[in-house]
Amino acid sequence: MSKRLQIVMADEEIEELRRSAEREGMSLSEWARQALRRAQRSQEGPTADDKMKAVERALACDYPTGDIEEILASIEKGRDLH
C-alpha cells in the first residue's frame, strides 16, 4: 500500500530539486524517494555481522601487545629518535 508524503518547501528550493531530478532523467517524486532512501541507509550504520567481521580482521593482525606502560615508553623512545 502506498502513502503520500507532503513536504512544505520554498518555491526556489523545489525548482532546484526539480532541475536536479531532470538532470538525472527522473521525476521529482522518484528523485526524492531515492534521496530519502539513501539518507536512511546512511544513518543505519553497520550491522552486527559487519562489526563481527571488523573484529575478526583486527584479530588477524599482528599488533604489538603487552603492558600499557611498556608500550607507551616504547612509543616515546621512538619519538626521541627523530
3-state helix, strand, coil in the chain (%, to 5): 65, 0, 35
CB proximity list for 46: less than 8 A, separation 6 or greater: 54
- pLDDT over 70 for what percent of the chain? 99
Domain layout of the chain by residue ranges: 11-80
Whole-prediction pTM value?
0.54
- Mean pLDDT to the nearest integer, 24-49: 93
Does residue 1 or residue 65 have the better pLDDT? Answer: 1
Does residue 25 or residue 82 have the better pLDDT? Answer: 25
